[in-house]
Amino acid sequence: MKIRRGLSLVEVVSALALLTIVVSAASSILFATMRTERISASEFNLQNSSRMLLDDVTHRIRNASAVFILPETSFNEVNIVITPNTTYIDYGDSLLLSRDWNYYGIVGNEIVHLRWNDYYERHDVQRVFHNPDDVIDFELNFSQIDPLNIDDNLINFQLTATQQGSAIPDVDILTSAEARTAMQVVDWSGAVSGAAIAYRLDEVPRTNPIARVTLILDLSGSMTSNVRYNPGFDIPCSERGVIRRITALQESTVRLINILYEVEDVEITIVLYSTSANFPFPGGNAAFQGAQTRIFGHSTHNFVSVAEHRDDLVIMANNLPANGQTNKADAFRRSYVAIYDARQTPTGGREVRDFIVFMTDGDANATVPASGGVPIIRNTGMGPAPQLNISHVAANVSNTAPGNISWGIAHPFFGSRLQSMSSDIFFVVLSGAPNTTRINQLHADLGSFPPIWAHNRHQLDEAFEGIARYVASEMWHARGPRMTPPGPPVGGP
């Protein structure tokens, strides 16, 4: 009888080892395939969601009646509460979101779309990208291609999505969209790309508002001092040079007038001040005096159409004189009266938007004395504006005689009156080393946007151009969405 032999222990162990190797290899291949499939599916979903987001944002931009690009600080502090059952905005005391405006941006580490709901008067939250495990880092960037061109409605939009721990983005898409129907495309992001957009879908109005620009210019004797012409150090020293402050002001004022000329329905008054802000402004050559009279007449500061008077406005700006002391208080007073008087004139039901541009070289005199017993600050041509005559100011602001009002005391009085006329007050300082304490006090008196520091002719030109572009962009909606901090980034120190 034949004896059957079983497997030896060595054979069993060898077989098990071989089987383990085969199973392990197969498992590794299987798990790698599954992981690759999951990653591929995740990347596919990410790519697909990105494309859907791009399509939706492009659609919103193309059909918006207004688009504002916002900096990160004006959106990422919105408090959105996400629970398993609902997602909502905890408004609290927040003023970050404006009614009637819709938003796209990143809150926390999720891309959200906030849509204004007229019925409930709130913003509904749509989570564009679900990121429950917080494993993807998103970045949104919006930028206007040519923010200084008021006719350019092209917006760049970039989306990147990166798995945490990875140095290479899984999604990096850059595209552009044209806001074809928008009356406004405004870039408030400043030096860096915006992190969110706010847009509206209102019906485009049939008529634009009237813009009234009050231009307050310092023509004191210190404006004859020099200021650097070119700002950079990347050009030869021989080409930098210096020019007089008044020359820089002349050139920049012409630039501002020419930009406003491109915009419909802009009216302007120019309040010139040195020892006083009396009208007509004394001094200057025959070309200046002739243009001043043709534009404004003989009696008071009044608003005129930039379109109708552009040539004379340019002649006047090109010949601005500089002499005398510095009386900002009277400039504030005269400007307030000009705006007040203009508001007494019917506009046929059209909205009027006031913009105030106050320019100084940072130097000032402590007081404005009388001249030969006659007050240099006069009531002539003050019109019906209440409580701004000299005797009232002398009695209620200081203890000095009517012709000797301390500008340091009078500024808050006049500044608060001017502040009540507009929320769009620009404060431009043309000086290499201004008195910052005095400038900060003037800023507080006026309640203006932060001071725009122009240390040279180039920066003054940029400041005036930026203001003119802002006026142009604001000619439809009375205000853009709320900002934190408030105000457009027109310039900086």
Token code pair at residue 57: 């944002």
Same domain as 151, residue 185: yes
Residue 248 and residue 162 share a domain = no
HEC profile of 116-167: EECCCCEEEEEECCCCCCCCEEEEEEEEECCCCCCCCCEEEEEEEEEECCCC
Q: Are residues 101 and 156 in the same domain?
A: yes
Q: Are 354 and 425 in contact (CB under 8 A)?
A: no
- Residues 70 and 141 placed together within one structural domain of the fold: yes
- Print pLDDT tens along the chain (493 aa): 555 566 677 777 777 788 788 877 777 777 777 666 665 666 677 777 788 888 888 888 888 888 888 877 666 666 666 665 666 666 654 446 777 788 888 877 778 888 888 887 788 888 777 665 667 788 888 888 776 666 678 888 888 888 777 778 778 888 888 888 887 788 877 656 677 888 988 775 555 688 999 999 999 888 988 876 554 444 444 445 567 899 999 999 999 999 888 787 899 999 998 887 888 888 889 999 999 999 988 767 889 999 999 999 999 999 999 988 887 877 888 888 888 888 888 877 788 889 999 999 876 543 444 433 333 344 444 444 444 444 444 444 433 344 444 444 456 667 777 888 887 899 999 886 666 777 887 788 788 788 888 888 888 988 998 898 888 777 755 456 655 444 444 433 2
Both 179 and 252 in one domain: the answer is no
Beta bridge partners of 156: 143, 176
Does residue 237 form part of some domain? yes
Whether residue 2 lies inside any domain: the answer is no
Residue 118 lies inside a defined structural domain of this protein: yes
In a shared domain, residues 169 and 283: no
Task: Please provide the average confidence, as pLDDT, over all residues in the chain.
Answer: 75
List the one residue out of 51, 260, 228 whose CA is nearest residue 157. 51
Q: Domain check: are 167 and 52 in the same one?
A: yes
- Report phi then psi at 129, rounded to 5: -120, 120
Same domain for 229 and 188: no
User: Where in the sequence is the domain holding 299, given as residue range(s)?
Assistant: 210-473
Q: Where do we find the tokens 């400043």?
A: 190
> How many Å apart are CA 210 and CA 346, to the nearest integer?
12
Same domain for 303 and 193? no
Q: Is 190 left (phi over 0), alpha (psi -120 to 50) or beta?
A: left
Alpha-carbon distances, residue 39 vs 95, 169, 331 (angstroms): 41, 14, 68
Q: Does the pTM exceed 0.75?
A: no
Which of 200, 219, 242 is where one domain is finished? 200
Q: How many domains does the chain have?
A: 2
Could you tell me if residue 28 is inside a domain?
Answer: no
Other residues' Cβ atoms within 10 Å of the Cβ of residue 375 = 19
Report if residue 4 sits inside a domain. no
Same domain, 70 and 190: yes
Q: Specify burial of residue 30 (Cβ count, 10 A radius: 0-12, 13-18, 19+).
A: exposed
On whether both 287 and 422 belong to a single domain, the answer is yes
**Which domain-ending residue is among 151, 176, 200?**
200
Same domain, 335 and 455: yes
Exposed / middle / buried, residue 261 (Cβ in 10 Å: 0-12, 13-18, 19+) = middle
